[in-house]
A and B are shown apart, each in its own frame.
Chain A
Amino acid sequence: MENRPLEYDYTVAKMFMFTTIVLGIVGMLIGVILAFQLAFPSVNTILGEGLAEYTNFSRLRPLHTDAVIFGFTLSGIFATWYYVGQRVLKVSMAESGLLMFLGKLHFWLYLIVVAAVVVTLFMGITTSKEYAEFEWPIDIAVVVVWVLWGMGLFGLIGIRREKSLYISIWYYIATFLGIAMLYLFNNMEIPTYFASGGIGSWWHSVSMYAGTNDALVQWWYGHNAVAFGFTVPIVAMIYYFLPKESGQAIYSYKLSLLSFWGLMFVYLWAGGHHLLYSTVPDWMQTMGSIFSVILILPSWGSAINMLLTMKGEWQQVAASPLIKFMILASTFYMFSTLEGPIQAIKSVNAIAHFTDWIVGHVHDGVLGWVGFMIMASLFHMAPRVFKREIYSKSLMATQFWIQTLGVVLYFTSMWIAGITQGMMWRAHDEFGNLAYSFIDTVTVLHPYYTIRGVGGLLYLVGFLMFAYNIYKTMSARPVEESELQNASPMGA
């Protein structure tokens, strides 16, 4: 055998980078279509009446949420895991044939599940539980994919050279365990065909819980899907990529450990804020509100730790578009974790719930924090996995500004729309008659929906620039090992 020095093996990381980009484009394109459907209803039948079943808002909405959450974000999580995991544990996947096999199997099964999800959702097959729309056969496949990831994850940890687990690894482990628990409990369902002795479709199922209990489990899941899908693994990314790209040690490693346990402790109790003023017990709602407010502390603990990591090095933010992405992500994280607790206060939620303000909150989090951080991670990884410099720095800087403008247009328009909606719905005259009918709000909101559509379109354009930049990177100037220490090499 030829005696080559040991290297990290990024085969699986590359595969997941590919799905991150493709599913990101698909999910965001659908998002933009949805946004324009809300502004211009005729877009619902854009491909004609005959195909209206497949192009209407309600059919496409779960495709958007599932494509961006379980396609784009989850692929990003896997791609970064297969990159960061090896590096901070100082062990290569090439050292274990088994781990390599598990990694590839993980990817291909994941892809099959994605295909099944796309097809079934387009056909209108759904359990109707938000973020948990998949029917039972797919749920079983999802569990298999998850277990494969877990085997790979703990397998790699098992053969590591570095004894301690870097803080990011803790966050990846938490992602794995958290989602595993949530997904299993929320998707407990009874296949009706088999339970009834052959009535209906074989793939159909009903939830094992009913009424308020179902809502409680659903939002315990829904909220923590945000926690363990949009927060915990993204924090894992920033704790690795920001120090690495800037060459700065984390401002306080102790604070990172603290925020980790703080976040784990507080997050699980906050889900009640999705069910304020509903039929769940009052004490549970109050508890949800209180824990939501406390949640600011561990969230800001991580975010401030990241900003302070740049202490004395702020010129890097001006000089490097890659650092800009990460600093803005961290800022948007602070922003949405301040906005969330405000919305969780009962009296505020009375206005905000059911309105576009929530949709605004969702998207300043996912576009500004999740999206930016995943793109930044892939930008940092690209020169290292392809051994080539990033194709264009100026393209990257342009993308940054276009997308930042997109996010700002998105959340500001939704704030105005949401609060207007909330106020109009509850306005009444001295006799208690409602002052407005629903259609009055629709008329008033139209301009803001259009602005949101434009903002979303800008974000999508930026994402396409990102995809192009990564694609061109694969044929850019090759780089030397020594260029890859900290700051990523970039072409003009």
Chain B
Amino acid sequence: MDIAELQAYGYFALTATLVVVLYGYIYHLYSKKKDADGHDYEDYSNMALKDDITDTPVSAVSDDKEK
């Protein structure tokens, strides 16, 4: 097997892996619906809608520190 052939196989394997990872991610998002902190993904739209400096963050950095 020469280097070009190796490259082609390597490339194919990488692509296949990435496809699996991407579909896995889709499955994860739609089956779990919430992230590790328990926030519904859809709540994150509020980061743009409620973005005054006095608005409460969707998930505040300071919450982490209090835990």
Contact = CB atoms under 8 A, between A and B. Distances in A.
A254 B47 contact: no
A261 B25 contact: yes
A249 B59 contact: no
Interface residues of B, number: 31
Given A90-B51, A168-B48, A261-B25, A161 B62 contact: yes
- Interface bracket on A: 20 to 34
Contact of B49 (A8, A92, A249): A249
B47 A88 contact: yes
A254 B30 contact: yes
Nearest to B33: A254
B57 A162 contact: yes
Contacts of B49: 243-244, 247, 249
B49 to A, nearest CB: 6
B16 interface: no
A261 B8 contact: no
Nearest to A246: B49
A6 B53 contact: yes
B57 A90 contact: yes
A154 to B, nearest CB: 15
B58 interface: yes
B60 interface: yes
Contact of B48 (A8, A160, A244, A252): A244
Interface in B17-53: 18, 22, 25-26, 29-30, 35, 37, 39, 41-49, 51, 53
Most B C-beta atoms less than 10 A away, residue of A87, A243, A252, A254: A254
Interface string A250-262: 1011100110011
5 contacts: A90-B55, A91-B53, A162-B58, A163-B57, A244-B51
Interface of B: 8, 18, 22, 25-26, 29-30, 35, 37, 39, 41-49, 51, 53-55, 57-64
Q: Which are the 9 A-B pairs with shortest beta-carbon distances?
A: A249-B45, A87-B51, A166-B47, A162-B57, A163-B59, A250-B45, A254-B29, A163-B61, A253-B41
